[in-house]
Amino acid sequence: MKQNKFIVVEGLEGSGKTTACKIIKKILYLNNIKNVITVRQPGSTFISEKIRAIIKNDYKKEKLNKFSELFLIYSARFQLMENIIKPALIKGKWIISDRHNLSSIAYQGGGRGINISLIKILNTLINKISKPNLTVFLDVKPKIGLKRALLRSNFDRIEKQSKKFFFKVMKYYFKFLSSEKNKIIINANKNIKIVKKNIKSQLQNWIKNN
Ligand code: T5A
């Protein structure tokens, strides 16, 4: 069996990350890789899920400061890395993570306008615990992604942001993806059948070569 790997799925809301995580798990299974854990960010530990609720809810009594948002997200990420991801990788398991460091570059760096050098310092600390082996990026137009997200449920605190916010998020995604060596980019504007087929062929190819 192939050695443990850390796969990250990235993209805007409604790009189909959760759906893609399930597709990837199935493809791994068909390749006899059955020791797989799926996590989501922020979330997936007791404390990280509490933080997730703060990040997603729009509390009328108090506005969440952008730096508080950044540090809460990294608190959730450190909890997840130390308590779930690191021990699982040591045991030889595979990880599929719905979002990771690149989301913070895109949303807090691009969307909120926080200085990238601060985010990079935090990412360096996270990468010291473990670095992703592959990033699967689902490229969707904000209008299409948000429409899908709205069909599923009401907008959360971040989904309520302006169009301009999401364009800045996408700009930063692409800016920083260009320096990412191990990546697969999927056109997620297409229907789910085509998206599935494209993930399958590109992932199959990556598995063969890694
Ligand atoms: N955040 C997170 C930051 O600001 N910084 C960070 O560092 C991190 C880690 C997380 C929020 O936190 C922010 C970003 C987010 O705003 P979340 O609930 O996890 O919140 O939200 P998202 O990660 O954006 O996930 P969503 O659940 O909104 O969307 P997904 O997972 O991308 O999409 P999925 O698979 O649930 O699909 C949504 C709907 O679309 C359909 C699905 O069936 C589903 O109904 N669908 C498609 N329909 C047509 N064609 C396709 N190709 C489709 N793919 C999926």
Q: pLDDT per position in the chain (210 positions), as tens? A: 578 999 999 999 999 999 999 999 999 999 999 999 999 999 999 999 999 999 999 998 999 999 999 999 999 999 999 999 999 999 999 999 999 999 999 999 999 999 999 999 999 999 999 999 999 999 999 999 999 999 988 999 999 999 999 999 999 999 999 989 999 999 999 999 999 999 999 999 999 998
DSSP, collapsed to helix, strand or coil, labels residue 85 as: helix
CA nearest to 134, candidates 182, 90, 176, 175: 182
CATH of 6-209, one of 2.60.120.10, 3.40.50.2300, 3.10.50.30, 3.40.50.300: 3.40.50.300
From CA 10, how far away is CA 135, in angstroms rounded? Answer: 7
Task: Tell how far the Cα of 56 is from the centroid of ligand 1, in angstroms.
Answer: 12
b/e map of 19-35 (b: 16 or more CB within 10 Å)? bbbebbbebbeeeebee
Q: Is 123 in the pocket of ligand 1 (CB under 6 A)?
A: no
Q: How far is the CA of 123 from the centre of ligand 1 (A)?
A: 22
Task: Indicate which atom in ligand 1 lies nearest the CA of residue 98.
Answer: 23
Residue with the two structure tokens 């800045």: 168
Nearest CA owner, ligand 1 atom 55:
16
Q: Is 15 a pocket residue for ligand 1 (Cβ < 6 Å)?
A: yes
